[in-house]
Each structure stands twice: as structure tokens, then as C-alpha cells.
Amino acid sequence: MEVELYGDCVRLTLFKVQKDRGSFTIPAQSLLRRGRSSPDSCEVDLAIRRLRAGRTDPTLNELSSLVAGQERRLRFFSVP
């Protein structure tokens, strides 16, 4: 699972969650301000992605692959 956050006041932050247990807490102090002139508060886009590898039919080319993906997005307002 991947968790991505980005906003006008928050630098692009990507977390790669190794063991997907169905929930994830963003660690304290992990969101960094984009710059000194960035606003203190802003809307932040959050994306959560899950990818699952699968198996292709053996009659297909040996270079064939199968990956299923799901992405959820939401926007929230961040305050210091």
C-alpha cells in the first residue's frame, strides 16, 4: 500500500506501507512545510493506493503480467 500527501503548504510525502493491515497512521512530524513562503494552512490531497499481483494464463506470452490496482483520494484542510 502507498499513501501520498500533497498540498500548497505541504511537501509531497510518500509512505510505502509494507504490511497492509487495513489502517495507517501518519507519523507525527512527518509532513514538512513546502517553503518559508508557504501558507500555514491549506487543502491537502491524500491518495491511498493498493496493488495486487496476479497470475496470467500459462498459454499467454511468458512476458505477460497481471496487476490489479485500487486508488482512493480525498482532500482535507491541514492546520498547524
Tell me the per-residue pLDDT of 37-75, one tens digit each, with 9 for 90 and over. 989 899 999 999 999 999 999 888 888 999 999 999 999
- Asked if residue 23 has pLDDT above 90, the reply is no
In this structure, the chain runs to a length of: 80
- Indicate the pTM of the whole model: 0.77
Dist. CA 55–CA 37, nearest whole Å: 49
- pLDDT averaged over the chain? 91
Residue 20, pLDDT score? 81
Dist. CA 29–CA 41, nearest whole Å: 15
